[in-house]
A and B are shown apart, each in its own frame.
Chain A
Amino acid sequence: MSTTNNEREVILSVRHVDVAFDVGGKKKFKAVSDANFDIYRGETFALVGESGSGKTTLGRAVIRINPCTAGEILFNGERISGKISKQQDRNVIRNIQMIFQDPAASLNERATIEYCISEGLYNFHLYKDNEDRIAKVDKALEDVGLLPEHKSRYPHEFSGGQRQRVGIARAMIMEPQFIIADEPISALDVSIRAQVLNLMNKLKKEKNLTYLFIAHDLSVVRFIADRIAVIHLGKIVEIAESEDLFKYPVHPYTISLLSAVPMPDPIIEKNRDSIVYNKEEDDPNAAPREMREIRPGHFVYANDEDMVAFEKRLEKLESYHAE
C-alpha cells in the first residue's frame, strides 16, 4: 500500500489482521476482520467509526491487550503480534504507549500522581536515582501544563482535563515512538477538548511522535489527522488523506458518516439530510471485496461492480470541486 508514499518510512504496518472473541462454545465474534494499512512515521493516522465498529479493539490489538486471531502487526519491520520474546514485549511497551478514553477510570485512585506517572519508570528502571526520577516526573508534568506540586495529590482531586493530561504525561515519560490515543477527548468537557488536542499536537512536534488516533467525531479528526481510515462493522471501508476523504468520499458509509456531522450554521443544519447507510441492502451474492486504490493514496473497500459506481461518484465530486 506504500506505493505512493515510497519516500516515507512505515512505522506500523497492520497486515490482514483479524481479531475475534469467544462467545461461548465454538462461536466466535469477529470484531475486526482483514484490517490492512500502514502508518508512516510522524503522521497522525485516525481510525473513525461508530460505536462497536471495532476501532478500540484494533487499537488494543496493536498494543497487545487483545490477541490477533489472524494476520500480523509489524512495528519498525518487526512482528509484534502473536508470540514474541520477552525482550521484544518489553520493547513494544517502551515504544508503544496508549492514552485512554476515560480519564476518570484510567488512573489508579489509590496512588499519588507521582506513582501514576513513575509507574513505567519503575517497571523499566529508567532512572539513575530517586532524584532523577522525581526530576523526570516534574518535567513530564510541566510538559503537559501541570505543576510539580501536583505530584503528591490523588487523581480524584483533579478535573477531567487535568487527569487526561496526567494520562498523557504517564505515556510520554516512557519516551515512546508511537502512541495510540483511544478516543482521548470523547469523555472530556467540550471546553477543554481543544486544550488536550493542542497539547497532543505540541507534544507530537516536540517529540517526533506518531499517533494512531481513534475517534468517532469527524470534526475532531479533520482537525488533528493526516490520514483517516473509516471502519464499519470491523471492516475498514475507506482510507484517504484527511482532506481527500472530506472532499471525495466515495464509500456510501463514509458519505453517511460525513452527512451526520453537525454544522454550526442554522440554515445548513435545517436543510441537512442525514444519509442512512444500511449494510443489509448489500447484495449477499456480490463478488468479494478488497481494498482498491481509487485515487493516489485513496483506498476503498470494493469489488468490480462497486468500483464503477464509486468512480462515477468520484468524477462527479471532482468536477464539483473543480468549479
Chain B
Amino acid sequence: MNYFKKHMFDKYSLKKDDFGKLPQENEPETNEAEINEDELFGFAEFDEKKSEVIAAPRYSYWKSVWKTFISSKFTVAVAIFVVLVVSFSFIYPAFSDYDPMVAPHINDVDWKYLAPSWQHIFGTDNIGNEVFDVVWEGARNSLIVSLTATAINMIVGIVIGAIWGFSKKMDKWMIEIYNIISNIPFLLLAMILAYVLRNKFSHLGEFGAFIPLIITMTITDWIFVAYFIRTQVMIIRDREYNLASKCLGTSTWTMITKNILPYLVSVIMTYISRQVPALISYEVFLSYMGLGLGQQYASLGRTISQYTTYMNGYPHLFWIPVSILAIISISLYIVGQKLADAADPRTHR
C-alpha cells in the first residue's frame, strides 16, 4: 500500500487532492501506512474547471523556431560554416596588407602564376598577388554590398508592401508604377546609374565607393519585394480574425504589425534567403560588366572577370573565386531556407 502510494505520487506527481479524500498535509508521515482502501479509492469531487486545463507544455513561438532549427545536425553544421566563412571574410582582410592598387611583386617573374601550395594557399595571379588575399577582400566587399542592399530592399519593401496590400486606393496607382518599373531594362538603368553616380560619393571614404552600387541594386528592386509582400498581405487581409480586429477598433497599422506580419515571418525569411545570394550574383554580374566597384576595390565579380582570361592556362585563378562565390551563396541560401522552415509553425511539434 505504502509502495503503491509512493509510486503514484512520485511517478505521476499527482497532488493529494486529486484523490478526493486523502489525509491532510500536516498529518505525520507515519500515518500513511494506515490509510484504508476506502479513503484511497474514494470518489473524486467533480470539478468542471479541471476539464479546461491544458496539459500540453507551454508554447512559445521563437523558442519553437530555435528548437526546430537546431534539431537537424546538417543545418547546424551549415550554419556554423556560414558564420565562420562570413566572419573570416570580414576579419582576414583587416590583417592582410593587400591593396588592389599596389602590386609589390609585379616585376618578380618567380611570383607570378604560382599554383596553390602551402606557401601560397590559393596560388598567385598574373601580377604576383596572393589569390587568397584577393578573394577574401573581394568576398568581404561583395558581402557588404549585397547584405546592405538586401536590408534596404527588405525594409522598404515590407513597409510599402504591407500598406500597399491594405489600401485599395494605393493599389490602383502602385500597380501601374510596378508595371512601369518592371518593364525598364535593368542593364540600361544600371549603366546610366553607374555613369551618373560615379565618384559622387568618393568623399565618404571606403564605404562611399559602395554607395553607387548599392543604389543600383536597390533603386528598383524594392518594388518586387513590396509586390510580393502586397500579394501575401492580400491573401490574409480578409481572414475572419482580421475582421474581428476591425470590429474591435484596431488601427490598420496595429493590424499590420500584430496580425499580418507575424504570419509572414516564414515567407519573408524564404525571400531573404533567396535575396542575399541573388544580390551577390547581381554584384558579380555588374562588376563583370564593368559597372560595379571602381578599380581600387576588389570584389568577387571583378576578380572573376579579371581572371576569366586565364581559365585555360591557369584554371585555379578562375575556379577558386568562383567556388568561393558558390560556397558562400549556397550555404547562405541553405541556412535561410532552414530558418524559414523553422519559422513556419506547421513544422513545430
Contact = CB atoms under 8 A, between A and B. Distances in A.
Interface stretch (A24-32, A93-101, A208-216): A93-101
Interface in A131-157: 145-147, 149-150, 152-154, 156-157
Given A115-B258, A153-B58, A158-B54, A105 B246 contact: no
- Category for how many chain B residues contact A: 20 to 34
Interface residues of A, number: 38
A152 B244 contact: no
A123 B61 contact: no
A102 B245 contact: no
Interface stretch (A106-114, A287-295, A307-315): A106-114
A232 interface: no
B169 interface: no
Contact of B244 (A106, A122, A146): A106
A112 to B, nearest CB: 9
Contacts of B54: 150, 153, 157-158
Contacts of A49: none
Interface string B216-243: 0000000000000000000000011101
A124 B248 CA distance: 9
A101 B240 contact: yes
B240 A105 contact: yes
Given A108-B259, A157-B56, A162-B52, A119 B241 contact: no
B58 A110 contact: no
Given A153-B59, A157-B59, A98 B52 contact: no
A120 interface: yes
B239 A105 contact: yes
A119 B255 CA distance: 11
A63 interface: yes
Interface string B44-72: 00001100111010110100000000000
Contacts of A152: 58
B250 interface: yes
Contacts of B239: 105
A247 interface: no
Contacts of A115: 258
A120 B248 contact: yes
A119 B245 CA distance: 8
Interface in B260-294: 262-263
Given A93-B248, A123-B249, A110 B263 contact: yes
A187 to B, nearest CB: 10
B251 A65 contact: no
A166 to B, nearest CB: 11
B250 A119 contact: yes
B254 to A, nearest CB: 8
Contacts of B248: 93, 97, 119-120, 123, 170, 174
Contacts of B249: 90, 93-94, 120, 123-124
17 contacts: A93-B247, A107-B244, A108-B241, A108-B245, A110-B61, A110-B259, A115-B258, A120-B249, A123-B249, A123-B251, A146-B52, A147-B53, A150-B52, A152-B58, A154-B59, A157-B59, A162-B52
Interface of A: 63, 65, 90, 93-94, 97-98, 100-102, 105-111, 115, 119-120, 122-124, 145-147, 149-150, 152-154, 156-158, 162, 167, 170, 174
